[in-house]
Chain A
Amino acid sequence: MANGIGIEKSILMENKNLTNTIDYYCKNEFINFKKSEIYKEILLLAKNKKYHINLEIGKLEKLKKTKWYISLSVLNLNNQIVEIPDDGFLSYSTELVTMDNQNRVNFSSWIENDFIETLKWIKTNLNQK
């Protein structure tokens, strides 16, 4: 029985179809985000302030779930994330893919209220600073 579970788990983890699909989806979301107006505006504002943008897709493994994020951070010349005193860092992410320990996958778009609201906050702060 223990062997059976082990084999099943390894088959699931080596499911190339699944990993390729997730990669493909994340890359497309990444491309779509880079084409968006809000990203272009943030990029321009950051350049004007001599900052640069770190945009990446990353994976975090938690106890029962693996999550793929698209994360945007505004970095200063020392490659440190810019901080607005008593408000927060100019850095935020949103989940693109969530996979549970049964390999059930949930896909989400980068276009969601909380993420866009925070990007607007980043934009506002880049305008002010």
Chain B
Amino acid sequence: MTPVMYSDISGEFPILAILAVTAIVGLSLTIAGVASNNNTMTAIGLTMVAVPALITGGLAAFATTATLTNIIGGVTIAAGLGTATFASAEWQQTLTGDNWILNSGMSEKLYNGLMIGVASLATLGTAASSFSYSFRINSIQNFGKYGDYYGMRFDTAAGKTRVLSFHTHDHGAGFSQWHWQLQKYNPYTGKAASTICRWVWWKLWQMG
């Protein structure tokens, strides 16, 4: 029986996942800030969304040649810039009482709707960019059953085919937790080959 190995070849997935969690917390603060009419909370929330979006989007767009990752990164950067724009207006309102976007004549309803919409897209983009960049996803081939588990088959920028599944089973010693598993794949025989790494879903860092 092969034990679960908490190893991550690159170490990027956990680091980028932390940024995605930061963005989710930021989006929650943004929504809470809007609901309670608290500009400071909204400004902090938007900043927590914008910075991770620009970092992960930048990596996904420019630090790999994987096509799908580049596209996701481009969208995330655009949403991150949009979020940063709203953040600048919220910080201005916090510090001076003025809001340059609202001063331009935009209605508050449209302003809040656009702000939450753009921040939501940036948060989603941060998670997608983190995920796609970590695995250098060039194109998604299929979602289906591979061996005993359902997963996603994709091609990497290096031209390799991989399978990522999310499942639970007993690993012996009473161990059974939901985890990600990344495997190599033989496209010629259609079989998933050796396991590259596994992560328990709620642990974002290498466990050794």
A91's contact among B159, B160, B189, by CB below 8 Å, is which? Answer: B189
Chain A residues lying within 8 Å of B171, measured Cβ to Cβ, are: 86
A33 to B2 CA separation, bound complex (whole angstroms): 29
A108 to B184 CA separation, bound complex (whole angstroms): 19
A121 to B194 CA separation, bound complex (whole angstroms): 7
Name A67-91 residues within 8 Å CB distance of B.
67, 69, 71, 73, 81, 83-91
Known: A71-B188, A85-B2. 7 other contacts (CB 8 A): A86-B195, A89-B147, A91-B191, A91-B193, A98-B159, A114-B158, A118-B194
B72 → A minimal CB distance (Å): 21
**B195 adjacent to A118 (CB under 8 Å):** no
User: What is the interface residue range for chain B against chain A?
Assistant: 20 to 34
Secondary structure dominating the interface of B:
loop
A85 → B minimal CB distance (Å): 7
* Interface size in chain A (residues, C-beta < 8 A): 25
**B188 adjacent to A83 (CB under 8 Å):** no
**B1 adjacent to A91 (CB under 8 Å):** no
**A114 adjacent to B184 (CB under 8 Å):** yes
B52 → A minimal CB distance (Å): 31
User: How would residues 175 to 203 of chain B score, 1 for a CB under 8 Å from any chain A CB and 0 otherwise?
Assistant: 00000010110111101111100000000
User: How would residues 55 to 76 of chain A score, 1 for a CB under 8 Å from any chain B CB and 0 otherwise?
Assistant: 0101010000001010101000
Whether a CB of chain A sits under 8 angstroms from the CB of B109 is no
List 19 A–B pairs whose Cβ atoms lie within 8 Å, in order of A's numbering: A71-B189, A81-B189, A84-B2, A86-B2, A86-B169, A86-B171, A86-B195, A87-B195, A88-B183, A88-B193, A88-B195, A89-B191, A89-B193, A91-B186, A92-B184, A92-B193, A114-B158, A114-B160, A118-B194
Chain A residues lying within 8 Å of B158, measured Cβ to Cβ, are: 114
**B194 adjacent to A88 (CB under 8 Å):** yes
| Most chain A beta-carbon contacts within 10 A, residue among B1, B189, B194, B195 | B194
Chain A residues lying within 8 Å of B147, measured Cβ to Cβ, are: 83, 88-89
Known: A86-B171, A121-B194. A92 touches B187 (CB 8 A): no
User: How would residues 89 to 100 of chain A score, 1 for a CB under 8 Å from any chain B CB and 0 otherwise?
Assistant: 111110100100
